[in-house]
Amino acid sequence: MRAPLARVTLAGMLMPISALFALLAPPATVAPQDAATAAVAEDWAVLPDDELLVMTLDGGRQVFIRLAPGYAPAHVANIRKLAQANWWDGTSVYRVQDNYVAQWGDASEEKPLPPEVLRRLPAEYDWPGSNRVTELARPDPYAAATGHSADGWPLGGDGERAWLTHCYGMVGVARNLAPDTGDGSALYTVIGHAPRHLDRNIALVGRVIEGMEHLSSLPRGTGEMGVYRTEGERTPILSVRLASQLPADERPRFAYRTTDNPRFAAWVRSRESRTPPFFTVPAGGADICNLMPETRRLR
């Protein structure tokens, strides 16, 4: 069995319910800091239809995945071909490992791939240079520097190369031992604490932007590495389609927040050092995985 290998503003707060409701109440005026960090219309970019993957699970539950063709073009090309061939229809979510990943595809590993799908792909784990437009105040254990690409992806780097980071909701390609790089037919998403040790060791191809609860809340597998022991435990996949395959009037539309603007930079700084009334000790830094740019459903 191959191994994977909207922002919540009050996340992490513990307080009496009365105090929580007080914080949730809308302010009478917008604080200057909020105004400085709030996105304006020009900060949003519409996600192209061929960069949105729609996975429909048993019961009609849907998971929406933003693809990252600019960072793993060969793997994303295979994923598009698999979706266009309806290959995932009838497969399943067959592995859910607590505090790690949910993984889906053909549990038997015997379903033939469409002939146009490439079996051997380059190791799209990192690339030369850096295309970060933001940089966090402090390094982390896995990268000398972290920040964001202009189109909102979380990046790590060492001054010579850059890579996507394994944050909650990121989607990667399961693979066997190197030199295998995976063909895109078996995918996983991070459902627990960010397994950053996987950075630069596996191809990241996207991020779940809506419907994450349909994967993260699934029963944990009791087999090795969270694999379900029986077929009846698996969650059937009814279909996986690119939004571009759907009728035009039925296509879901999303927008993502771009990061190459002073408002997002101010938001990053504000998240690195949060302020009273709740926070009395500013951290002076933040984990890249706690700074994921927003996405917004348009329809």
Full set of structural domains in the chain with CATH: 33-107+123-297 (2.40.100.10)
- Please state the pTM of the whole predicted model: 0.90
Rounded mean pLDDT of 267-288? 93
Query: Tokens in use for 8?
Result: 């919540």
Q: What whole-number distance in Å separates Cα of residue 6 and Cα of residue 24?
A: 16
Q: Which tens digits make up the pLDDT trace of 97-136? A: 999 999 999 999 999 999 999 999 999 999 999 889 999 9
Q: Which tens digits make up the pLDDT trace of 148-196? A: 999 999 999 999 999 999 999 999 999 999 999 999 999 999 999 999 9
Beta bridge partners of 175: 3
